[in-house]
Amino acid sequence: MRMERAQRWRRLFSIGIVGVILFTTSAFLFSSQARPAYAADLSGSYSWKPLKIGGGGFVTGLAIHPTAAGVVYARTDVGGAYRWNESTQTWTQLIVTPAVPNPAAGDYNVESIAVSKTNSQVVYVAVGDDIGNATGRILKSTNRGASWTDSGQRWSMAGNGDYRTGSARIAVDPNNDNVVYFASRKEGLWVSTDAASHWSQVSTSQIPLGTNSSGTTEGVSFVRFDPSGGVSGGKTNRIYAGVAGNGVYRSDNGGSSWYRILTTDQIPYSVDIASDGTLYLSILSTTGAGSLQKYAPGSGTWSTISPSGDSYMQVAVDPFNAQRVIVAGGGVSNGHIWRTTNAGASWTALNIAVSSPDIPWITNTDESNYMTSAQIVFDPLVQDRLWFPQGTGVWRSDNNTGSTITWTFISKGIEEMVANDVIAPPGGKPITGVWDRNGYYHANPDAYPTRPILTNQFSSGWSLDYSGGTPSFVAAVSSDHRFLNPDMSGYSTDGGQTWTQFSGSRNYSDLFGGNIAVSATNTSNIVWLPTWGKAPYVTTDRGATWTQIPFFSTVGGLHQQLWWGSKKALDADKVSGGTYYIYSTDNNGEFFRSSNNGQTWEQAPGIAPPSGGNDAHVFGQIRAVPGKAGHVWASVAQGGLYYTTNKGDAWTKVAGVQEARSFGFGKAIGSYPVVFINGKVNNQWGIWRSVDQGATWDLLSANPMGIYDQVHTVNGDMSIAGRVYVGFSGNSFVYGDANGSTPTPTPTPTPAGATITRATTAPTIDGNSTDAVWSTAPSYPIAHTVGAPTGFSSSYQSAWDSNNLYFLVKVNDATLSSHADAVELYLDPQHNGGSSYDSTDTQYIFSTDSNTILQYQGGTQGTNTAGVTFSNKTTSSGYQVEIQIPWARLGLTPSANATIGLDLDTWQNWQGGAGVKNKLFWNATSDDDWFNPGLFGSGTLQGTGGNATLTPSADRDNWAQNAGDSTTLNASQWQTIYLKFDLSTVSSVSKATLRLYRTDLNQGSTILTASQVTDDSWTEASTTLPAVGASISTATSATVGYVDLDVTSFVQAQKAADGIVSIGVSSNSTSWVGFYSRDNATNKPQLVVTG
């Protein structure tokens, strides 16, 4: 944050309404499911990880142990407390279950943190954020935060309140760790003499309660021991306490009595004590500039030593040099951090620089222009090291004698973003929306993002949506909640990787915060429902102009407060174009819809989910179901969960879901997208999922990763079955996968490549494989499984001539007699990929039970089938489909060696598109080719010099037991596969691809390296094999099936030399990776040569 009082997150609603509200409704109002709701506890079979961002804030202070090296703790305003690990350079969250007794969400609002000098295992945290009710507490750990105890004493605390970045409110006597003080906001100064087991208030006649003129009550602002004052009776003599609106108090007898040493109506805020006993204090003014004061305890005199007219909030004294002091204001920037080396007699204004070797996004922002600051601290053990907690995480700097302080971001492990929204569109990557820094595109969930979306400026991302028909089109709302920067909202056409801001949104003052939705069929048509109860706006030109929708001028209960991060009152149908939905909490719930691009609206006739007697105005959400026209779900907090399948004509209450807040959808495991909720089922709060449209629910986790923070948003991944994302109100995001199904993050596999054979005679399209071209064209397995096809396998061949593109697809289907199948063909003639279809990309569906050809483009049905023909023929084990596509239909003039994008799938039990999607794909691994040509493989048109698919004349690996007669070959870091090919039948080489068929995934994803073998004299029986030479190429193998390695240059050289080529193949795996050899009946190694 850039201003101390501009709080990033304040709960402006009551959490007190927690009872389940019972509604008596008849069947006329709602239908209700009758099946039992609770299915299984899957919490033991789900794995959770952070969806990495890195940092966030505010990190409001640090506690560094004065004698134990590397023991550092961080407190945060909304994200809990962390412990530093110097060896791994990471932070660990300490506020987790089951470590904390009687966990409450307010525990993540940390008011203060302190350590014991005499026992490095002891740490205290003061937690809570309910200044109106004394519910805050102090937790104690005797094992560095591994577990905690609670004395039961309660205070009014505001860990996320105003003035939260000041000095510590907890202080442990450095000479007696039984003595602990706490400076409270409303109840005065407290002391424990039995290590926080019991507490008593210091008399208010000694230390007053304190006041302040604005913002959250500050009260007693700090307490601090001064070791230089000596020890009496086993206690440190000298103690200081700051009291807002009163001044600074001092005790010289271990707290037995106190007297005021400074009178001020302002706030004593930040304090540090030099090794010679000199006290340095920043006075924070509630109006105007503050001052920096120096106090000499021996003489009792104060001196004003302010460097300039700034307001000073941070002061740090070098423990190795009592004359050296650093001070800063609320924001650190060039010229706004000062150093003195003569105890304040003179000051030097310093500049700053930033670096972040581990978390790249932070250096792609404007953070260095104004670094919102908390307590800067000198390291007590490492000379000239500064620590800097602030609004985006923790920074550190060494060697600070020059004119520039270089801050290095050390925030690995801290995940303190305030989550607002998360989506993972079909075929895309997750995108998040957060307070302060817009949001992020997560190319890899386990890696830190490179930059925020939309802008490098300070702004908060409130809402995200993608177009159901073009999921690569994403819109986002981003507004600066401090009202300093202009609107940053906009859209992305590549799934969130790059962004364009709306050109016209800044012309409409109402367009601020709220929710956004995009049409399923027209990405220029967007509806925006702003916050503060404003009526929605619509654009038909991607945000250049906006029109307020007059229908809602008298409708209340829409999106009422910017701060309500869970609220989602608007969505767009993910199938029906131009169809939008809005839910209002007026009149016990109203549901509105538009079917003409948001231009006109009506109230749906069905009785909407109820909003009365619950917190739907805060936590309520609606979401349209991906792939299901007219399906919308709604959560209404204590009112439960509902859905409609007919755009609100009627609603069904989901049985067993007692309360529901955030929810979302993921890739279907059965016939319906998985529903994920943060809700209460079977009297248990947690993250739940349903794979059967809400009939039954499985518990995934009560507290993912032990985090019991308030959940703001939940959504599934539309590309990875079972994956769910959970966003918190101060702990960023986590994601969960079912054990055994978690994909290992790997580089994107090299798309499969096929040779499309040149046909000298066009094949007859009759479903037979007797044409000459099919006897020479290479066959490629269609083997990537989507769904659960049974008794099903397929392969294809392809060919071309100057007029047409041809395919022969062979399918084995043991269950064909009971249903009809289909073949789907996807083509990208320009081979330009992308995440959405352009005007030349196309999809064809060929059914086995009719002569109908369906053509689509990005999910929209077309009529581009002129000249396209096919024929299918039943075989003993299934069927064959022969296809002809005129080049004219593809807008392409073919040429030798040209490459097109393509993919094929075979669909078992198609049933005219109504069957369960059990498919086999050639290249894609998910059913997303229909909108994402980036998932296609490629096909190269065979050149005029002839084409050959060669099998090895010899192959083996260098394991002694496998001397050439095994059906498998093994590769690893230490084991090499040798392959030899005779090139005598090849007239020329324009491209050569080595293809090996992987047999299993026991070793996971691996990288293969093809290397030169220049000695061709080896045989399968050789006792000594030749040395492997230079690398030719590498490829990633992440699936069962063929992996292709480009060996063109080496094959060309060997063709010109002796017409024999030998190649060695190894893997980066430490264990064997298996491939079929030439002795296997099918899927032999191939060298595909294009002339």
Residue 417 has pLDDT above 90, yes or no: yes
Average pLDDT over residues 903-911: 85
Confidence band, pLDDT 50/70/90 cuts, at residue 744: very low
Angle CA 361–366–367, to nearest 5: 80
Task: Give the Cα separation of 730 and 709 in Å (integer).
Answer: 7
Average pLDDT over residues 62-74: 97
Percentage above 90 pLDDT, the chain? 71
Residue 615 has pLDDT above 70, yes or no: yes
Residue-wise pLDDT tens digits, 759-770:
878 899 999 999
The answer to which of 454-468, 892-906, 953-967, 1062-1076 has the lowest mean pLDDT is 953-967
Q: How far apart are the first and last CA of the chain?
A: 63
Q: Which residue has the tokens 């300070």?
A: 458
Of 604, 607, 487, nearest in space to 543 by CA = 487
Check residues 106 and 792 and name the one with the higher pLDDT.
106
Residue 415 has pLDDT above 90, yes or no: yes
Task: Give the Cα separation of 769 and 771 in Å (integer).
Answer: 6
The alpha carbon of 399 is separated from its chain's Cα centroid by a whole number of angstroms, namely 36
DSSP 695-752: SSEEEEESSGGG--SPEEEEEE-SSSTT-EEEEESSS-EEEEEETT-PPPP-PPPPPP
**22 Cβ contact list (under 8 Å, min separation 6):** none
Task: Give the Cα separation of 31 and 490 in Å (integer).
Answer: 40
Task: Please tell me whether residue 138 adopts helix, strand or coil conformation.
Answer: strand
Q: Give whichever of 306-310, 472-476, 857-861, 950-954 has the largest mean pLDDT.
A: 472-476
Residue 821 has pLDDT above 90, yes or no: no
Q: Name the β-bridge partners of 201.
A: 190
Residue-wise pLDDT tens digits, 507-533:
999 999 999 999 999 999 999 999 999
Angle CA 830–946–1058, to nearest 5: 120
Residue 4 has pLDDT above 60, yes or no: no
Of 159, 91, 105, 102, nearest in space to 708 by CA = 105
Average pLDDT over residues 437-462: 95
Per-chain mean pLDDT for the chain: 89
Q: What is the pLDDT, as a whole number, of residue 911?
A: 67
Confidence band, pLDDT 50/70/90 cuts, at residue 158: very high
Task: Give the Cα separation of 440 and 727 in Å (integer).
Answer: 13
Q: Which residue has the tokens 């050149």?
A: 943
Average pLDDT over residues 977-987: 85
Q: What is the pLDDT, as a whole number, of residue 514?
A: 96
Residue-wise pLDDT tens digits, 965-976:
778 888 988 889
Of 173, 296, 281, nearest in space to 222 by CA = 281
DSSP letter at 1055? H
Residue 598 has pLDDT above 70, yes or no: yes
Plot region of 706 (φ>0 → left; ψ -120 to 50 → alpha; else → beta): left
Residue-wise pLDDT tens digits, 870-889:
998 888 888 899 999 999 98
DSSP 922-938: SS-SSS-TTT-GGG-EE
Task: Give the Cα separation of 589 and 611 in Å (integer).
Answer: 5
Residue 748 has pLDDT above 50, yes or no: no
**740 Cβ contact list (under 8 Å, min separation 6):** none
Task: Give the Cα separation of 962 and 966 in Å (integer).
Answer: 6
The answer to which of 784-798, 880-894, 896-910, 934-948 has the lowest mean pLDDT is 934-948
**554 Cβ contact list (under 8 Å, min separation 6):** none
Residue 171 has pLDDT above 90, yes or no: yes
Does this model's pTM top 0.85? My answer is no
Confidence band, pLDDT 50/70/90 cuts, at residue 1066: very high
Are the beta carbons of 56 and 128 closer than 8 angstroms? no
Task: Give the Cα separation of 891 and 887 in Å (integer).
Answer: 6
Are the beta carbons of 937 and 753 closer than 8 angstroms? yes
Residue 8 has pLDDT above 50, yes or no: no
Residue-wise pLDDT tens digits, 529-550:
999 999 999 999 999 999 999 9
Q: Kindly report the backbone phi and psi dihedral angles of residue 367, in degrees, each rounded to the nearest multiple of 5, phi listed first.
A: -55, -40
Residue-wise pLDDT tens digits, 884-905:
999 998 999 988 778 899 999 9
Q: What is the pLDDT, as a whole number, of residue 9?
A: 33
Task: Give the Cα separation of 657 and 38 in Å (integer).
Answer: 9
Could you tell me how many residues make up the chain? Answer: 1091
Q: Name the β-bridge partners of 652.
A: 31, 643
Q: What is the pLDDT, as a whole number, of residue 840?
A: 87
Q: What is the pLDDT, as a whole number, of residue 1087?
A: 92
Task: Take residue 648 and report the two structure tokens written for it.
Answer: 């609100």
Q: Exposure string (b/e) for 399-424, b if CB count within 10 Å is 16 or more?
A: ebeeeebbbbbbbbbbbbbbbbbbbb
Q: Name the β-bridge partners of 870.
A: 883
Of 911, 1062, 925, nearest in space to 982 by CA = 1062
Task: Please tell me whether residue 295 adopts helix, strand or coil conformation.
Answer: strand
Question: CB atoms < 10 A from the CB of 1046, how many?
Answer: 18
Of 435, 532, 442, 542, nearest in space to 478 by CA = 435
Would you say the C-alpha torsion 367, 369, 370, 374 has a positive or negative sign? Answer: positive
Q: What is the pLDDT, as a whole number, of residue 758?
A: 85
Sheet holding 123-127, edge to edge: 110-115, 123-127, 137-141, 149-150
What single letter denotes the amino acid at residue 294?
K
Task: Give the Cα separation of 1030 and 1021 in Å (integer).
Answer: 24
What single letter denotes the amino acid at residue 547?
T
The domains found in the chain, sorted by start residue, are 54-409 (2.130.10.10), 422-738 (2.130.10.10), 753-941 (2.60.40.1190), 947-1090 (2.60.120)
Confidence band, pLDDT 50/70/90 cuts, at residue 33: very low
Q: What is the 3-state secondary structure (H, E, C) of 142-183?
A: CCCCCCCEECCCCECCECCCCCCCCCCCEEECCCCCCCEEEE
Percentage above 70 pLDDT, the chain? 93
Q: What is the pLDDT, as a whole number, of residue 1?
A: 30
Residue 170 has pLDDT above 60, yes or no: yes
Strands 937-941 and 753-758: parallel
Task: Please tell me whether residue 260 adopts helix, strand or coil conformation.
Answer: strand
Task: Give the Cα separation of 251 and 240 in Å (integer).
Answer: 7
